[in-house]
């Protein structure tokens, strides 16, 4: 039996699916409504590995930010497109390395705001903040709450995990990303993951159609197309690879098609 849907909060349209709540459904969460479940099940019928994609995306994020905190010495993280909290959250991962790490979460889904207290429950030695704002514009960097937590004169880790594949080509995702990176100092890093149609093109196309019918743009891209988002950056080893192949901590027996998501970490020179 499916778990009960959450009580709708003010400002949430429960009649239309939302990508963040669909993602929560793939991960086995409970913070979704009937419309989200129905759309997510249509995606799973078209692309049966979507639960695996979501889990591997989450695992990639954990490894990537832990690496930046532990090995690159970063102590500031800006997570854009946060989604509904799923433990461990980004701040829990990096504050395990150093409790003084500071994290700002940004999302435009009112549902995420309902759970902001989870995102703010960080180590008192550090700082966490949540901002409800447009997730892909550099205007977020003008928000005074960002400056209360982050020093933008010092390197920042910018996390764009499973976000750019919701930005269509005519919205200029490369330009949006470039606008954010241009305002961050040298030594900042980008954590990027992005769905791909390289291995199951027809299944990917059908899942994109489900999202579009639900009111969310979706555009999986090839390895070459995603690599262009990294132009001008110093890409850390092992490069732009399938998410489960990025510095794995244990063996993962999955095919390329089951993962269908690329991940990379890159440094701004």
Model pLDDT for residues 55-101, shown as the tens digit of each residue: 999 999 999 999 999 999 999 999 999 989 999 999 999 999 999 99
pLDDT at position 3: 40
Work out the mean pLDDT of the chain and round it to a whole number: 93
Contact indicator for 230, 267 with CB cutoff of 8 Å: no
pLDDT at position 100: 98
- Residue 64, Cα to own-chain centre: how many angstroms? 12
How many whole angstroms separate alpha carbon 120 and alpha carbon 175? 30
pLDDT at position 127: 94
Tell me which residue of 189, 195, 219, 245 sits closest to 72, measured CA to CA.
189
Q: Which residues of 232-252 are buried (b: 16+ CB within 10 A; e: fewer)?
A: ebebbeeebbbbbbbbeeeee
Other C-beta atoms closer than 10 Å to the C-beta of 66 total 18
pLDDT at position 110: 80
Q: Which residue has the higher pLDDT, 79 or 251?
A: 79
How many whole angstroms separate alpha carbon 81 and alpha carbon 173? 14
Task: Give the confidence band of 189 by pLDDT, cuts at 50, 70, 90.
Answer: very high
Tell me which residue of 232, 231, 234, 223 sits closest to 263, measured CA to CA.
223
How many whole angstroms separate alpha carbon 189 and alpha carbon 256? 26
Q: Taking 70 as the threshold, does the pLDDT of residue 119 lie above it?
A: yes
Other C-beta atoms closer than 10 Å to the C-beta of 183 total 15
Q: Which residues pair with 266 in a beta bridge?
A: 190, 235
How many whole angstroms separate alpha carbon 115 and alpha carbon 93? 18
pLDDT at position 8: 47
SS3 98: coil
Tokens 């400002």: give the residue: 11
pLDDT at position 10: 54
pLDDT at position 6: 47
How many whole angstroms separate alpha carbon 120 and alpha carbon 138? 22
Residue 224, judged by CB atoms within 10 A of its CB (0-12, 13-18, 19+), counts as exposed
Q: Taking 60 as the threshold, does the pLDDT of residue 1 lie above it?
A: no
- Strand spans (E) along 139-199: 157-161, 189-195
Q: What is the mean pLDDT of residues 44-49?
A: 97
Residue 192, judged by CB atoms within 10 A of its CB (0-12, 13-18, 19+), counts as buried
């Amino acid at each position: 039996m499916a778990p009960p849907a959450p009580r709708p909060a003010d400002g949430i349209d429960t009649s239309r699916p939302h990508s963040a709540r669909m993602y929560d459904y793939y991960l086995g969460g409970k913070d979704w409504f009937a419309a989200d479940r129905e759309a997510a099940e249509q995606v799973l019928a078209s692309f049966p590995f979507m639960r695996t994609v979501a889990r591997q995306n989450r695992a990639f994020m954990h490894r990537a930010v832990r690496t930046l905190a532990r090995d690159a010495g970063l102590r500031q993280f800006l997570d854009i497109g946060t989604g509904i909290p799923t433990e461990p959250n980004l701040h829990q991962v990096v504050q395990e390395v150093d409790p003084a790490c500071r994290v700002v979460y940004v999302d435009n889904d009112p549902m995420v705001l309902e759970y902001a207290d989870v995102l703010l429950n960080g180590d008192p030695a550090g700082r966490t903040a949540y901002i409800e704002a447009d997730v892909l514009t550099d205007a977020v960097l003008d928000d005074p709450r960002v400056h209360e937590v982050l020093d933008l004169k010092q390197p920042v880790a910018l996390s764009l995990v499973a976000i750019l594949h919701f930005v269509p080509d005519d919205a200029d995702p490369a330009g949006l990303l470039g606008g954010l990176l241009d305002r961050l100092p040298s030594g900042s890093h980008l954590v990027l993951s992005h769905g791909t149609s390289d291995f199951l093109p027809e299944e990917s196309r059908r899942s994109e159609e489900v999202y579009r019918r639900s009111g969310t743009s979706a555009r999986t891209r090839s390895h070459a197309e995603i690599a262009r988002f990294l132009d001008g950056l110093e890409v850390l080893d092992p490069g732009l690879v399938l998410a489960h192949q990025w510095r794995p901590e244990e063996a993962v027996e999955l095919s390329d098609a089951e993962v269908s998501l690329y991940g990379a970490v890159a440094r701004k020179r």
